[in-house]
């Protein structure tokens, strides 16, 4: 089979990446259910050899090829070294992946990826797998999940911004950064700024000033200023807020991803002009999506204050 004939028809999908605990598997399950209700044929592919507690059946599981416990036991590697070996093994056995994916043609594919950060910042194996998928006519967008609770800590948020930027530059796919678990953010304390400050990554000098009020970070002000300059010079990082329990939030993320991988502009679905334009907007889309979540966040804060007053 020639390289071109392996994927004569286009296939669309998402590679879901992010650090451990950011909600990748939960997102894949929720998004597959959401898209299925819209009439799409969705398939979930598990590429995480350490993921043994899948909430729903997968159309394809890397465990058929390699598992992390087996690698650790046979090669004497730790979890990090074992995951890197598994991804290199997957890259070396790309034919296995290609053959299994042939049966999923006609499906919208969600690739649930491992949570090891270095796989997306500087290691080549998974990046090369994504490049192979592109050669097989998969049109993919990277959905990078970040736990929203990092917004409550300025130091951690700057770290998240650096990681997100590094991931975007290394993976080399159309990219959508997502703040996950927005329904839980109020459990970690009040935000220093409005939510749109974090989603749109506005003037970060205010964040540096906020950090300077902390005696520990005061000594690292110049370092933080330089890190912020790098992030702002590239001007690439922004976030879409997500609550998987909220249909409107899921719809906004879906629209952002459909725009990124080109699904919105194909003929996979009969869409009205209004639906097409709603997926194609730029800053207005991000503003409206952020505003909706911001309103819910403010309402939850106001309710908490009222309860405290009543207790008094």
At 278 the pLDDT is: 55
Strand (E) or helix (H) holding 222: helix 221-234
pLDDT for 8 beyond 80 = no
Nearest residue to 109 via CA among 263, 266, 279: 263
pLDDT-based confidence at 64, cuts 50/70/90? Answer: very high
Q: What is the pLDDT of residue 282?
A: 45
In-domain check, residue 53:
yes
Which string of b and e fits 121-132 if b means at least 16 CB within 10 Å?
bebebbbbbbee
Nearest to 177 by CA among 19, 294, 48, 301: 19
Q: What is the pLDDT of residue 285?
A: 43
What average pLDDT does this structure show over 41-49? 95
Q: Give a yes or no: residue 2 inside a domain.
A: no
270: in domain: yes
Q: Is residue 250 part of a domain?
A: yes
For the stretch 102-160, pLDDT in tens is: 999 899 999 999 999 999 999 999 999 999 999 999 999 999 999 988 888 888 888 89
Average pLDDT value for the chain: 83
Side-chain half-sphere exposure of 186, counting CA atoms within 13 A:
15
Number of folded domains that form the chain: 1
Residue 17 lies inside a defined structural domain of this protein: yes
Which residue range is the domain that position 101 belongs to?
A: 11-201+237-311
**Which tens digit of pLDDT belongs to each residue from 239-267?**
999 999 899 999 999 999 999 999 987 65
Q: Average pLDDT, stretch 280-286?
A: 45
Map tokens 């993320």 to a residue.
253
pLDDT band for position 13 (cuts 50, 70, 90)? very high
Secondary structure letter of residue 21 according to DSSP: T
In a domain, 162, yes or no: yes
> Per residue in 265-276, pLDDT tens?
765 454 444 554
Please check whether residue 241 is in contact with residue 232, taking contact to mean a CB–CB distance below 8 angstroms. Answer: no
Structural domain includes residue 256:
yes
pLDDT, residue 311, reads 60
Q: What is the pTM of this model?
A: 0.81
Lowest mean pLDDT, pick from 10-19, 21-30, 173-182, 271-280: 271-280
Per residue in 171-204, pLDDT tens? 999 999 999 988 887 777 778 778 888 888 888 8
Q: Which helix (H) or strand (E) holds 121?
A: helix 118-121
Residue 123: give its domain's CATH number. 3.40.50.300
pLDDT tens per residue, range 65-93: 999 999 999 999 999 999 999 999 999 99
Task: Give domain status of residue 40, yes or no.
Answer: yes
């Amino acid at each position: 089979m020639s390289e071109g004939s392996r994927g004569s028809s286009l296939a669309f999908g998402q590679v879901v990446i992010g650090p451990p605990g950011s909600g990748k598997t939960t997102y894949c399950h929720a998004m597959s259910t959401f898209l299925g209700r819209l009439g799409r044929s969705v398939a979930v592919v598990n590429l995480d050899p350490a993921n043994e507690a899948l909430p729903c059946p997968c159309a394809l599981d890397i465990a058929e090829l390699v598992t992390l416990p087996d690698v650790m036991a046979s090669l004497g590697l730790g979890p990090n070294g074992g995951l890197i070996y598994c991804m290199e093994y997957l890259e070396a056995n790309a034919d296995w992946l290609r053959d299994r994916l042939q049966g999923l043609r006609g499906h919208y594919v969600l690739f649930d990826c491992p949570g090891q950060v270095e796989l997306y910042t500087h290691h080549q194996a998974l990046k090369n797998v994504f490049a192979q998928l592109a050669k097989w006519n998969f049109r993919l967008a990277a959905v990078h999940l970040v736990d929203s609770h990092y917004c409550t800590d300025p130091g951690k948020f700057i770290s998240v911004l650096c990681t997100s930027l590094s991931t975007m530059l290394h993976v080399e796919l159309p990219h959508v950064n997502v703040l996950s678990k927005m329904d839980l953010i109020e459990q970690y304390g009040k935000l220093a700024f409005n939510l749109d400050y974090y989603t749109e990554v506005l003037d970060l000098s205010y964040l540096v000033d906020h950090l300077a009020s902390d005696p520990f970070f005061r000594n690292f002000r110049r370092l933080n200023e330089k890190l912020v300059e790098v992030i702002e010079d590239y001007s690439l990082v922004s976030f879409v807020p997500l609550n998987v329990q909220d249909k409107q939030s899921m719809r906004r993320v879906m629209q952002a991803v459909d725009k990124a991988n080109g699904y919105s502009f194909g003929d996979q679905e009969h869409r009205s002009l209004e639906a097409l334009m709603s997926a194609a907007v730029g800053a207005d889309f991000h503003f409206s999506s952020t505003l909706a979540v911001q309103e819910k966040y403010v309402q939850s804060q106001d309710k908490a204050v009222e309860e405290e007053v009543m207790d008094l």
